[in-house]
Amino acid sequence: MIRRPARRGALAPELARLGIYAFLLTAALFFLAPLYIMVVTSLKSMDEIRLGNLFALPLQPTLEPWRAAWSEVCTGVSCEGVRVGFWNSVFIVVPSTVLPILIGAINGYALSFWRPRGANALFAVLMLGAFVPVQVMIYPLVKILAVLGLFSSLPGIVAVHVVFSMPVMTLLFRNYYAAIPMELFKAARIDGGGFWRIFLQLMLPMSTPIIVVAAIMQITGVWNDYILGLVFAGRDNLPMTVQLNNVINTTTGERLYNINMAATILTSLVPLVVYFVSGRWFVRGIAAGAVKG
């Protein structure tokens, strides 16, 4: 029995699938290779690092670099480790996440359902603010916060993060609420619900997916921020990223690569944990209308 040669069209899906797998594997290796080097280097002693085997597993793993990075490494004039910056970042991130989400939810709810006079103009101004570079606004904000007595303080850096996050938070919640049927809102109005009652008892409980999306975006953005924390936080409230920069770029004494790698991983742990714990909610929120126009 003579077999017919496979049609060229039948091979196309298989080749496309192999191409996708090859791309995903390459992308995964591209992002995982630096992480692998950071982890194995943080578990080595300096004597082992000097051997130059960058990709080799540690012969005698040790957690001493992690302990030193957390509690002993110098981040400037102080040698108390990155734990000080960790708690500073926590005190900055918590209010800088809760307040923008709450205000953004109220703004999106009002712009989607109540539509007050001038709502379109207000929304246009907010969207314009989303495209203004942060660097352009630094000097005016420094002058404003100095006049208000908030410069180099915890409330000052929180206020800056709230201001810069408002356009994006408003856009997320407005687009999410725009996907909710207007009939649901009208039914609540017929039942006697007012602005706050409908928001608190109806809209907010339905907003869990988009709240998680906003929280992931805000926590990641504020925690990883460097320039705003450096300028506005003040010496007593420097976030973890600023202290990490002081650790990595120090030019005095021996450069301790194992401690530097451990400090870098410690700094990035919080956004990674937040994303992996709530990643499925992030995907659900995006699918539910987080980026719909």
- Residue 287, pLDDT > 70, answer no
pLDDT in tens, 263-282: 999 999 998 888 888 767 66
pLDDT for 47 beyond 70 = yes
Task: Tell me whether residue 69 is in a domain.
Answer: no
Residue 136 lies in a domain: yes
CA angle 192, 112, 182 (to 5 degrees): 55
Reported confidence tier of residue 10, pLDDT bands at 50, 70, 90: low
Tokens of residue 243, six digits: 């202290």
Q: The domain spanning residue 237 has which CATH number? A: 1.10.3720.10
pLDDT higher than threshold 60 for residue 54: yes
141: containing domain:
87-242+268-290
pTM of model > 0.75 = yes
Domain count, the chain: 2
DSSP 58: P
Q: What is the pLDDT of residues 129-168, one digit of tens each?
A: 778 888 888 999 999 999 999 999 999 999 999 999 988 8
- Confidence at residue 115, expressed as pLDDT on a 0 to 100 scale: 77
Query: Same structural domain for residues 195 and 234?
Result: yes
Same domain, 216 and 273: yes
How many other CB atoms are found less than 10 A from the CB of residue 125? 11
177 vs 91, 169, 246, 291, CA distance in Å?
30, 12, 43, 12
Residues 162, 30, single domain; the answer is no
Using CA atoms, how far apart are residues 203 and 211, in angstroms rounded to an integer?
A: 11
pLDDT in tens, 19-44: 888 999 999 898 889 889 999 999 99
Are residues 220 and 184 part of one domain?
Answer: yes
- The alpha carbons of the chain give a radius of gyration, in whole angstroms, of 25
Q: How high is the pLDDT of residue 228?
A: 93
pLDDT of residue 13: 76
The answer to whether residue 248 sits within a structural domain is: no
Is residue 202 domain-resident? yes
Q: Same structural domain for residues 221 and 91?
A: yes
